[in-house]
Amino acid sequence: MAKKNLGRISFFENKLSEKNSFCGSVVSNSYGSKLPYKTRSLCPECTRVLPATVYAKKGKVFISRKCPLHGVFDEIYWESASEFERARKFAHKSRGIGTSNVSVTKNSGTNCPFDCGLCTNHQNHTALANMVLTNRCDLSCWYCFFYAKDGDPIYEPTIEQIDKMFLNLKAQKPVATNAIQFTGGEPTLRKDLIQIIKLAKKRGFEHIQLNTHGINFALNPKLAKDVAKAGVSTIYMSFDGVTAKSNPKNHYEIPRALDACRAAKLAVVLVPTVIKGVNDGELGEIINFALNNFDVVRGVNFQPVSFVGRMPKSLRNKERITIPRAEKLIEEQTKGIIKQNYFFTVPCVSSVTNFVEAITGSNQYSLSTHYGCGAASYLFFDGEKVIPLPEFFDVVSFFDFLNKSAQRIKSYKLYNFKSTRIIESAKLLIELTKCVDSKKVPKGIDLVKMLVDVLVKHDYSSLGKFSDKTLFIGMMHFMDSYNYDQQRVERCQIHYAMPDGRIIPFCAFNVIPQIYRDKVQKAYALPWEEWSKLNSDKSPGLKYKRNVDKFENEEIYKKTYLEKNNF
| Binding site residues, other proteins, CB under 8 A | 22-23, 46-51, 99-107, 110-111, 114-115, 158, 160-161, 164, 167-168, 171, 499-502, 514-515, 519, 522-524, 526-527, 530, 533-534
> How far does the chain reach from its first CA to its final CA, in angstroms?
42
Q: Between 80 and 510, whose beta carbon lies closer to other proteins?
A: 510
User: 447, 436 in Cβ contact below 8 A?
Assistant: yes
Q: Between 33 and 47, whose beta carbon lies closer to other proteins?
A: 47
Least Cβ distance, residue 350 to other proteins (angstroms):
26
Q: Between 108 and 363, whose beta carbon lies closer to other proteins?
A: 108
Alpha helix positions (H), 65-112:
81-88
Show the CA angle centred on residue 443, arms to residues 439 and 448, nearest 5°.
70
Distance from C-alpha of 464 to C-alpha of 481, rounded to nearest angstrom: 39
Closest CA to 271 of 234, 308, 245: 234
Q: Between 470 and 486, whose beta carbon lies closer to other proteins?
A: 486
Closest CA to 531 of 125, 189, 35: 189
**Residue 484 CB neighbours (<10 A):** 30
**Residue 541 CB neighbours (<10 A):** 18
Q: Between 169 and 261, whose beta carbon lies closer to other proteins?
A: 169
Least Cβ distance, residue 88 to other proteins (angstroms):
27
The length of the chain is: 567
Strands 71-78 and 470-476: unpaired
Least Cβ distance, residue 126 to other proteins (angstroms):
14
Least Cβ distance, residue 452 to other proteins (angstroms):
39
Q: Between 153 and 374, whose beta carbon lies closer to other proteins?
A: 153
Q: Between 111 and 362, whose beta carbon lies closer to other proteins?
A: 111
Distance from C-alpha of 490 to C-alpha of 481, rounded to nearest angstrom: 15
Least Cβ distance, residue 144 to other proteins (angstroms):
24
Least Cβ distance, residue 311 to other proteins (angstroms):
21
Q: For residue 113, is the peptide bond before it cis, meaning its omega torsion is within 30 degrees of 0?
A: yes
Looking at residue 527, the DSSP 8-state letter turns out to be P
**Residue 234 CB neighbours (<10 A):** 19
Q: Between 116 and 432, whose beta carbon lies closer to other proteins?
A: 116
The secondary structure of the chain in percent helix, strand, coil, rounded to multiples of 5, reads: 40, 15, 45
User: 540, 532 in Cβ contact below 8 A?
Assistant: yes
Least Cβ distance, residue 123 to other proteins (angstroms):
18
